[in-house]
Chains A and B, each alone.
Chain A
Amino acid sequence: MSVIRTTLFAAALAVVLSAPARAADPGITDSEITIGLFAPMSGPLAAFGLDALQAARMWYEETNKKGGIHGRKIKVIVEDDKCVPNEVVAVVKKLITVDKTFIVHGGSCTAAAVAAQEFVTREKVPHVMLNASGDGAVIPPTRYVFGAFAGTQRTVGATLAEFAVKELKGKRVAVIAHDDDFGVANSTTFKAVATALGAQVVAAELISPRVTDVTAPLLTIRAANPDVIVSTAYPGPAVLIGQKYGEFAMMKTPLVQAIQGIPVPSVYAKNVGNDAALANFYYGSPLNDLTEGPKQQKWLALYKQYYPDRTPSGFMTYGLPSAMAVTRALEKAGRDVTRESFIDAMETLNFETEVIAGPTAFAKDRRDGARSSIFVKFDGKAHTLMPGVYTWDGKAGM
């Protein structure tokens, strides 16, 4: 009797063990999760992407050192997308259809993220952006794309408006932005929020990102007599604006510059070359502290450990929140994680990154992770943190 029972039991066991494993998603093995990581690593926008990507890698390495996630180590395949939409599409298609990664994690440029959106949605592969604002791809939210880990351009515009009106008591505000997708997004939200708060937008200038002279826009703004000026220009034009603002002696009107134009404030001050022009100057930042402030030191120290030969750009820590979100979601989803359960887990996230101001949060109908900004008064030498964390409510200006 026992022999038959043992044999039957053994046979049953054999059948169960030899049954094909439940079909798992690509990129997951018993010991590894493969993540496709991409950012601009060459070309004119390398400064935006390279350090952020390396920071994300650093986070994954740290996670691996602590034992990985549910017994699996994270393996990373890195690609350069140059911030060009065609290249991003090519890179994403390669990572998904050739390298068969579990998810794709990358993108520092919004247009590129939008270009890839349809493909990742069709293939049902989660795409977590790196440090891209990603406005067009996260608003309106779609299931597979998560982004804006340092805020959308709408957040930039909205928080600038709140700071200008509430803190600087502006009643007549002026904005100067670029005529590209960023500039249009942040200036539109700025105008809507400022108006809703009771201020009047007396001038809204749109300039090309390749501009070499800002005399005309600054003259127009000066003629409109604003009591706060806000700029969301990129590094080069931002310096030109600062210079012209100084040349025209407009310092009695405070100037607030969004972070995209001032990655390293000391370099900005050196380039403007005239500290008197910064007497009434502020800049915004999505971080929780000054770029080299005490709360950011641990990340800078960690980066130095991993990449001793490289001085990181001001955008380095921006790569961390997205990587943190990925590892948290993988933890939450458990050992049997699939692409769909990963997304469900991402949607429940609401955590403090210790990198950016405010929490990183998603929901069923929300795909922009960060909505907060701090402001800093900068006179060319000293940074003074302004009180308060400004947050966009996700609705104003839409």
Chain B
Amino acid sequence: MYGAPPLTRLAPLALLLLAGFALPLLLPQYFLYLGNFLMMFAVLALGLDLLLGWAGQFAFAHIAFFGIGTYATALLNVRLGVPFVVGMPLAAMLAGLIGLAIGFPATRLRTVYLALATFAFAEAAQWVFNSWDKVTGGPDGLRIAAPNILGYRVGTDPTAFPVMAVILALVIAATMYLTTSKFGRAMCAIRESEHVASASGIDVRSTKAWAFAISAVYAGIAGGMYTLFQSFVNPDVFGFQQIVLLLSMIVVGGLGSIPGALIGVALLGLLPEVMRTTMRGLLIWQELVYGLILIGAVMFMPRGIWGFIAGRRGSR
């Protein structure tokens, strides 16, 4: 379970890359749009899962870093003409730095308090996006100029799709390495019991703060991905509902597992589209159905769908 992942585990990523280049030639833009959306959310979910599922840190600030990543990448492009290949990493690093800064004081707090403090930070960040008119455009939002990747012009669903797939594949591979590394082991140990971890020689505070920072970098990357296929951003995207959605995705899919996070994203990401097409006359019931699904998931599959499947298969 630990040590560098064998190449066979990396095989599905090749499939992802293949799909990334082939599907834009086959599918209408609507499906590519959904795909782009899911890939962006997958990066978000993996980042949150690192912090919540692997390190056991109950932190809700993720969506704020997503916003920072999106606005920063977009603004660097629109205002300063910084190309995407430079802009996105810069934005992701900015998110990571802020994550680190939050991580140190936040890790003094336990569970519920950590959740509330980070949640408050996320809401405060959304207020800033909404009020800092000069920079973010405030409530009117920001139009995103089509990014340019070394001469290849992105900005539409078919052109963005392969790039998103490449970024996602890299992120998944990085996550695999991270979770099976010494750092990954340290995060798991902290999740189980901070006292025991500390007694085993792990620097708990530093590990937690770095987990925050890395998770924030993921969110920043996802923010950069947003600018690849969307033409407009406004503060409403970075609110409480999105955090709830993200959380639901990884819980329903299965905490602390990469396939779990991906399954959760696919299921809950596509659920609104499925409901929309199947519930034509009953649209008003969507909220109720969504709530029932969430409750059902935690009641009957506490380890998430992946945990359920893995348990059935007997592998652990």
- Chain A residues with a Cβ under 8 A of chain B: 41-43, 46, 79-80, 84-87, 89-90, 93-94, 96-98, 111, 114-115, 117-119, 122, 136, 179-181, 183-185
- What B residues does A118 contact at CB under 8 A? 143, 231-232
Report yes or no: A184 in contact with B140, Cβ–Cβ below 8 A. Answer: yes
- Name B's interface SS: helix
- The smallest C-beta distance from B142 to any residue of chain A, in angstroms, reads 10
Report yes or no: B283 in contact with A42, Cβ–Cβ below 8 A. Answer: yes
* B37 interface contact, C-beta 8 A: yes
* B183 interface contact, C-beta 8 A: no
A115 in contact with B33 given A42-B283, A179-B131 (CB within 8 Å): no
- Name A's interface SS: helix
Report yes or no: B284 in contact with A136, Cβ–Cβ below 8 A. Answer: no
Closest to A209 in B: B139
Report yes or no: A184 in contact with B37, Cβ–Cβ below 8 A. Answer: no
* B130 interface contact, C-beta 8 A: yes
Subset of 23 A-B contacts with CB under 8 Å: A41-B283, A41-B284, A42-B284, A43-B287, A80-B276, A85-B232, A85-B236, A86-B37, A90-B37, A93-B29, A93-B33, A96-B30, A97-B28, A111-B236, A114-B143, A114-B234, A117-B232, A118-B143, A119-B231, A122-B156, A179-B131, A181-B139, A185-B140
Which range holds the interface residue count of chain B? 20 to 34
- What A residues does B237 contact at CB under 8 A? 85-86
Closest to B272 in A: A87
Closest to B27 in A: A97
* B141 interface contact, C-beta 8 A: yes
Complex Cα distance, B127 from A179, in Å, reads 10
* B259 interface contact, C-beta 8 A: no
Chain B contacts with A in 124-156, Cβ cutoff 8 A: 130-131, 133, 138-141, 143, 156
Closest to B286 in A: A42
- What B residues does A115 contact at CB under 8 A? 230-232, 234
A sample of 12 more A-B contacts (CB under 8 A), given A93-B30, A96-B29, A181-B140, is: A46-B284, A85-B232, A90-B30, A90-B33, A93-B29, A94-B30, A111-B234, A114-B232, A181-B139, A181-B141, A184-B139, A185-B140
* B34 interface contact, C-beta 8 A: yes
Report yes or no: A97 in contact with B284, Cβ–Cβ below 8 A. Answer: no
* Set A98, A136, A184: member contacting B28, Cβ < 8 A: A98
- The smallest C-beta distance from A92 to any residue of chain B, in angstroms, reads 9
- The smallest C-beta distance from B147 to any residue of chain A, in angstroms, reads 13
Chain B contacts with A in 299-315, Cβ cutoff 8 A: none
A80 in contact with B139 given A85-B236, A90-B34 (CB within 8 Å): no
- The smallest C-beta distance from B88 to any residue of chain A, in angstroms, reads 20
* B273 interface contact, C-beta 8 A: yes
Centre residue among A41, A122, A179, A181 by max chain B CB count within 10 A: A181
- The smallest C-beta distance from A178 to any residue of chain B, in angstroms, reads 8
- What B residues does A80 contact at CB under 8 A? 276, 283
- What A residues does B276 contact at CB under 8 A? 79-80
Report yes or no: B141 in contact with A136, Cβ–Cβ below 8 A. Answer: yes
Report yes or no: B232 in contact with A98, Cβ–Cβ below 8 A. Answer: no
Chain B contacts with A in 271-287, Cβ cutoff 8 A: 272-273, 276, 283-284, 286-287
